[in-house]
Amino acid sequence: MSLRQILIHPDPRLKAVADPVAEVDDTIRRLADDMLETMYDAPGIGLAAPQVGVGKRLLVMDCVKGEDEAPRPLVLINPQITWVSDEMNTYEEGCLSIPDQYAEVERPAVVDVTWTALDGTPQSERFDGLWATCVQHEIDHLDGKLFIDYLKPLRRQMITRKMQKLKRERART
């Protein structure tokens, strides 16, 4: 396993629609392992393949919070939301591709998701709470959408300018 570099917004690769994974092969398994390691190292609770520069429909997440709770690493290949609740929920979201910026985003409180697991089997699960927010945030990444796209244009532009400045500073050092 190895750490992958996380792309920082703005980057055209974060705005592109990712391609479905045709086959779960060694390349995909290695990508999933690397992405889990990269996510835990960051640390973060979710990471989508486009964030490490791979335009494939694959994401990893683990929203277990408590330190004495067992971790629950999930790998979702070709995930699809099949049902959303009318009830909405607001969370203060952040993103590993937009470091240190947080904003409230409203999304459906409960969602049903189907996907392919790393062993190639079909899976489905109902997510609520932080898991529901996280899986919707990560699936958005597969469609080239960021949480700041839900914000008012002025706020979004402010955050984008901060990220451009951050990237310039990082490029100098």
Binding annotation: 95, 137, 141
Q: Peptide bond before 43: cis, by omega within 30 degrees of 0?
A: yes
For the question of residue 138 being annotated catalytic, the response is yes
Q: Any contact of residue 134 with Zn ion (CB under 5 A)?
A: no
Report the C-alpha gap between 49 and 35 in whole angstroms. Answer: 8
Q: What burial class does residue 151 get, using C-beta atoms within 10 Å of its C-beta: 0-12 exposed, 13-18 middle, 19+ buried?
A: middle
Which residue's CB is nearer to Zn ion, number 32 or number 95? 95
Which residue's CB is nearer to Zn ion, number 24 or number 50? 50
- Total residues contacting Zn ion by CB under 5 A comes to 1
Interface region with Zn ion, contact rule CB under 5 A, candidates 64-72, 95-103, 106-114, 116-124: 95-103
Exactly one of 67, 87, 92, 138 is catalytic; name it. Answer: 138
Q: Peptide bond before 10: cis, by omega within 30 degrees of 0?
A: yes
Which residue's CB is nearer to Zn ion, number 44 or number 108? 44
The overall longest dimension of the chain from CA atoms, in Å, is 48
**Binding residues for Zn ion, per CB under 5 A?**
95
